[in-house]
Chain A
Amino acid sequence: MKLTTLTLTLAATVFAAVALAHSGATGVVKERMDAMDAMGHAIKRVAPMFQGELGYDADAVREAAETFRSHAGEAMTRLFPKGSNGKPSEAMDTIWRNWDEFAALAERLGTYAEGLSLAAGNGLVESGGMDAGALMGGGFMTSGETMMGGAAMMGAGSGMAGMMVGHEPMMGVEHLAEMPANVVFEMVSQTCTACHTRFRADK
């Protein structure tokens, strides 16, 4: 009897903890959390294909790309009215101090998502990074690796600021459409990471 009560209490506590992350959110905060969740589900569905753990499915990748696109750009930024943070939101004040940068990342997500949709049919191209000759980032250039040359990497010439995802010049959709799907997916993912790094509080 006592054990049952204890088990129930424990179960309730666990439920509460799980629900806590996105609970208590209302209005735009809830809306944007739901949008992030939707994108997270899409990532979870297709990421294993790019990790070689699941067979490649171009339709599933197009579907995921459409999910990202529908939550990018304006659809994203309109959910971040000034000052709409504080508990339970994880949004940082830096969003409104650097609004142009935030908006540019949201825009970039949309462009890359469109590119991914068009590139989905190109399939995967092995980057061939398993031999020593590829140590310096051989294989296909991704957004990050176009500047792998040592000097540029250290910040000479064009400058390191250009290396930060979000600052580097954005590739056009037509260009992205020609690239292997895995490379464009990496660019989408790195855009998520860049935005979280700049604008989401560390949990």
Chain B
Amino acid sequence: MGLAIRAGAAVIAAAAAGLAAISAWPVGKAAKPITVAGDVNRGAYLARASGCIACHTNFDEDIAPLAGGVALETPFGTLYSPNITPDPLHGIGRWSIEDFARAVRQGVSPDGEPYYPTFTYPFYGNFTDQEIADLWAAFQTVNPVAEPDRPRDMPFPFNQRWTLKPWRLAFLDAPRTDPAEDAEPLWNRGRELVEGAAHCGACHTGRNILGGRDHDNQHFRGNRDLPGGNKSPAIDTETLEMRGWTVANLAYSLKTGLKPDGDAFGGGMGEIVLQGTRFLSDQDRRAIAIYLLDAHGAEAAKPKAETRKR
């Protein structure tokens, strides 16, 4: 009896010690100072391409731009996008540009806490200092809004932020935006957008039961279990070609929402077009289409397995 209690206590103590260790385990790296000057227009363009406005603006309830509040119902609970206006209390008004860089590129808050990957920072890891400075400059032009963040509604254990630390170790890969030496510049630009800023894989690549993207088996094969019970179609080259997509009509759909069968997008993709890709240049939309429809190029540029894990 006494032994059992002592053993139980030992297990609990060990678990507590382990938990304390995980809690203290630092994530991310300190951001180096960013000294380049940002460009508001370029930053606004990148913000559109990256979906900042689409995800951080609650159009349904007509809440101010970038003030957050959009619900994402995931299999792990419901999260709400935070206020990222420059409000000092409820937004990012007190952040430094280095805080911002660490949040966007590494998914780590100014307090050193890991963000849930509903924030698509895993795609933004290769943003340059210049791109961060541009985004930062653009965010300074946003009206501050005193709208408090909505608390997330997640069951145990997913509501424990420390659970994200092992998650990061297991599933956080570097974005596959590295250019292929022998590829066309437009194909490389498409790769940079598709695998980076535009984060197509967030919805179009299937995930494992822990919410990590399954690159090996599910890359661009669609996802039947998206937040809110939504589905995304496969966008691998074979599927796109089979369904009548061409570079011309795919690039055009990113501007208008029109599909080859005469239908128009709704749901998440409609939002992406209306709040994001319709603001891009014709050249960038074309680059996205070229990359998605050129499997051979993609094959050539496949990163080696050992360099993929970070």
State the A residues within 8 Å of B (CB).
39-44, 47-48, 50-53, 94, 127, 129-132, 134-139, 142, 144-145, 148-151, 153-157, 159-161, 163-165, 185-186, 189-190, 192-194, 196-197, 199-203
Contacts and interface: CB of A to CB of B under 8 A. Distances in A.
Interface pairs A-B: 10 shortest CB-CB: A193-B257, A129-B282, A160-B65, A155-B65, A196-B266, A197-B270, A202-B267, A44-B262, A40-B262, A189-B256
Contacts of A43: 258, 262-264
Of the listed residues A129, A157, A201, the one surrounded by the most CB atoms of chain B closer than 10 A to its CB is A129
Contacts of A157: 143
A162 to B, nearest CB: 9
Interface residues of B, number: 56
Contacts of B96: none
Contact of A164 (B59, B138, B284): B59
Of the listed residues B39, B57, B251, the one surrounded by the most CB atoms of chain A closer than 10 A to its CB is B57
Nearest to B229: A202
Nearest to B268: A202
Contacts of A142: 278
A131 to B, nearest CB: 8
A189 B43 contact: no
A47 B274 contact: no
Interface of B: 39-45, 47-48, 53, 57, 59-60, 62, 64-66, 85, 138-139, 141-143, 230-231, 246, 248-249, 251-252, 255-258, 260-268, 270-271, 273-275, 278-284, 286
B251 to A, nearest CB: 8
Contacts of B274: 144, 164-165, 190, 193-194, 197
A145 B266 CA distance: 20
Nearest to A166: B274
B266 A193 contact: yes
A127 B282 CA distance: 8
B175 to A, nearest CB: 21
Given A43-B263, A136-B45, A155-B142, 14 more contacts: A47-B252, A130-B286, A134-B283, A135-B283, A150-B45, A153-B279, A155-B64, A161-B62, A189-B257, A190-B256, A193-B257, A197-B274, A202-B230, A202-B231
B141 A150 contact: yes
